[in-house]
Structure 1
Amino acid sequence: MNFLIIILSYFLGSINFAYIMAKVKGIDIASSGSGNPGTSNALRTLGKGSAVIVLLGDLLKGALPIIFFYEDQYFLIYGVAAVLGHIYPIFYKFKGGKGVATYLGVYIATVIQNPYNSDFLNLDLFQLFNIPTVALFYFVLFKITRISAIASLSTVALTAGLLIFANNEFFNILVLVCVFILILVKHSENIKRLIEGKENKF
């Protein structure tokens, strides 16, 4: 395990594109909308164009450590370090987003890289649940519910479950379970509002 790569991945994850785009527009995203510096709140407060940039930036943060270090046994740790950076960014007093888009960047990069290194995945079934299918799953749920938290958490659960189901190493399974629990905890207020029927819709 390379601790320098972990640190660099964390710093990469700490770059928050929602904060950056909001600053360009002269908006304090931390006090606008839901107050969360992530894609969903960027869509609410900054508009579609800025939200797309935020989404792509957050996806890329999770994907880059996987793309560059996939052959390393601990590549998932490097991706998770970027997720941690997004959630607890050193550049923004450790107040970041909820990690969904950055985690999905990890997932996407893992799927893309797999044809070149099949040691991580041991089931051809995994390839059936490709990136377009996962994206469709998210957008259908979002279209039906109009609630970002439901679509986001369901998609994270699906993709983490697929990686766990297709993986045969306990360490990687443990990492995936931990990151899912962390994202779940970061959505605790959303879950509470969902139970109470008070979660905001788009």
Structure 2
Amino acid sequence: MTDTLPTYALWLIGSMAFLGYVLGSVPFGLLLTNFAGAGDLRKIGSGNIGATNVLRTGRKDLAAATLLLDAAKGTLAVVTAWVMTPPDFSDRAAAVAALAAVVGHCYPIFLGFRGGKGVATGLGVMLALSPLTGLAGCAIWLGMAKLTRISSAGALSAFVAMPFICFALNGFSLQSSPKPLATVLICLLVLARHHENISRLLRGVEPRIGDGKR
């Protein structure tokens, strides 16, 4: 990695950050439930716009579609950054776009900066940014969610583990690749967005998968 980037590179990276944020801001869960007549997702269950809360509408198909689309928008942001920027700084652009996409999902401009918790989008960006890290994160998430029947337990486990996995795959020096640092920042954001879930887990009152509307 070079220490200094030319001005045009900074503009391109900034453009990829903007694109990533806009893509991340698209609230697929809210759009799908509204179009399907399942009600305003913000008034159901936890009020979150993610797939777990969509499941509380009783529509498994909508929840699955939300999960896939939220992940896909993250993947698209990273892939676009790689395609649209020269190889000598495409990794940096992709890392910035990945973080921006998760920020967009958590704080979407289209919903007054009140969004989701970034799990599906975070996994989507990781599958593109560091495929092995993303696949490991998905496996941990699914395994823990199945074991505990608590979606947040699976998500928290995955996002705690992924920075370590990414560092192991890309080297433990932050100078060797932008991917580990981006992974750390993404995971910290997702964990911060789960502070209420962490509190409920510690108190043993976190809802389980399959619970209906609250």
Give the TM interval when normalised to the shorter protein. Answer: 0.7 to 0.9
What amino acid is aligned across from residue 25 of structure 1 in structure 2? A
The structural deviation recorded for 1:10 is: 0.5
* Paired position in structure 1 for 2:7: none
* Paired position in structure 1 for 2:98: 79
Q: Deviations over 1:87-109 (max 9, x none)?
A: 00000111110001101011111
Counterparts of 1:100-111 in structure 2, within 5 Å, are 100-111=119-130
Whole-Å separation in 1 of the counterparts to 2:137 and 2:112: 33
CA contact (8 A) 2:20 2:78 kept: no
Paired residue total? 186
Q: 2:152 aligns with which of 126, 149, 154?
A: 149
* Paired position in structure 2 for 1:135: 138
* Paired position in structure 2 for 1:191: 198
Q: Deviations over 1:113-148 (max 9, x none)?
A: xxxxxxxxxxxxxx5x672x5434322211211111
Aligned-pair identity (%): 35
What amino acid is aligned across from residue 201 of structure 2 in structure 1? L
Whole-Å separation in 1 of the counterparts to 2:184 and 2:137: 19
Whole-Å separation in 2 of the counterparts to 1:178 and 1:34: 25
* Paired position in structure 1 for 2:47: 35
CA contact (8 A) 2:162 2:183 kept: no
User: Helix, strand or coil: the match of 2:26?
Assistant: coil
Runs of 5+ consecutive residues of structure 1 not aligned to the other structure: 113-126
CA contact (8 A) 1:59 1:102 kept: yes
The RMSD of aligned alpha carbons is 1.8
CA contact (8 A) 1:83 1:102 kept: yes
Runs of 5+ consecutive residues of structure 2 not aligned to the other structure: 1-9, 210-214
Q: 2:164 aligns with which of 140, 161, 164?
A: 161
Larger relative contact order, structure 1 or 2 (CA cutoff 8 Å, min sep 6)? 2
CA contact (8 A) 1:22 1:46 kept: no
